[in-house]
Homo-oligomer: A and B are copies of this chain.
């Protein structure tokens, strides 16, 4: 597959090497904002560089576009690429409003192209293994889920695009929390109630929250609890699910989050506590796994894991959480989605 990237930041540095190392794929172009690529960006590799995404998404020698820009540009670029007949992998959060989300989903439908939201967490091996076991019933009906997801911010964070309300989709609740919200939906099904609090606890020069906590209730009555933080001074990812028959925890995501581990256990009133622990040592394989799934969805002409609709639903839930925070109430989440759910 011939692939171009729009955006030349961290996510492109993560995702483009997958394309470079793949025998089936070719990296055609990277589009940034400068006239030359930034230092250290794939220096030994041959690819083209431009600062004109509009022509990049029109090129006839390109099959797919990966959108790694800040969120305020996601919708425009993605829709243009879809309209030009390209498949698109768009970084999360999918976009910043339901209007944008619905337009993106509509464009993918009209173009009959795959639009995947960059929910790479679904592709982490521990999550995938947990999902497999979930589907075969190992945990039973879900009772409650917890996600603690935090990263240590950086000095000067306030000057990054992530701290700019005109470019970001929200604060830390939207930025990292969207992964948790997507995972909650995946394991608990539709979420119908949300309560939320946010705060600016440390990075006080910015207007977006650096911490957000939220409670969700699913249509089936399960509860979920989220903390998304930019002041977790030691990076942490922990996603836990307790079902009537057992539980799992995914801890770590590789790299700066530490070794990814899947901790599994069964309800047993009569035995000492015991866990089964699977360790996924080495680097973070989710980017590779996600890329493979994207290509398989294209090949199979089907919705990918972490689809445009999943992206849309996560936007809806994030907006509902912010609304709950503002209205100091528990928000009931309507089903006003015009597209058929998966």
Q: Which residues of A contact B (CB under 8 A)?
A: 20-21, 43-46, 125, 143-144, 146, 148, 150, 152-155, 193, 195-197, 199, 201-202, 211, 213-215, 217, 221-223, 225, 227, 229, 231-235, 242, 244, 246-247, 255-259, 265-269, 272-283, 328-330
Contact = CB atoms under 8 A, between A and B. Distances in A.
A272 B277 contact: no
Contacts of A20: 44
Given A233-B265, A256-B281, A275 B272 contact: no
Contacts of A329: 328-330
Most buried by B among A196, A213, A280, A328: A213
Contact of A258 (B148, B246, B281): B281
B273 A275 contact: no
B234 A275 contact: yes
Contact of A233 (B43, B223, B242): B242
A225 B223 contact: no
Contact of A144 (B211, B215, B265, B278): B211
Q: How many copies does the complex hold?
A: 4
* Interface residue SS majority, chain A: strand
28 contacts: A44-B45, A143-B199, A144-B201, A150-B242, A153-B269, A154-B269, A155-B269, A195-B195, A195-B197, A199-B221, A231-B244, A231-B267, A232-B242, A233-B247, A233-B267, A233-B268, A234-B275, A235-B273, A235-B281, A255-B283, A258-B259, A258-B281, A272-B279, A273-B278, A273-B279, A275-B277, A277-B277, A328-B329
Contacts of A233: 242, 246-247, 265-268
Nearest 9 Cβ contacts at the A-B interface = A143-B201, A328-B330, A195-B195, A274-B278, A233-B267, A234-B273, A273-B279, A213-B225, A329-B329
A48 B234 CA distance: 44
B213 A197 contact: no
A146 B227 contact: yes
A222 B201 contact: yes
Given A44-B45, A229-B144, A274-B278, A223 B195 contact: no
Contacts of A258: 259, 279, 281
Nearest to A45: B44
Nearest to A260: B272
A5 to B, nearest CB: 16
Given A211-B223, A255-B283, 14 more contacts: A144-B201, A196-B215, A202-B244, A233-B265, A233-B266, A233-B268, A234-B275, A256-B281, A256-B282, A257-B281, A258-B259, A274-B278, A275-B279, A328-B329
A207 B45 CA distance: 45
A246 B234 CA distance: 10
Contacts of A45: 44
Contacts of A222: 199, 201
A187 to B, nearest CB: 14
A45 B43 CA distance: 10
Nearest to A42: B44
Nearest to A143: B201
Contacts of A278: 272-274
A154 B213 CA distance: 31
Contacts of A44: 20-21, 44-46
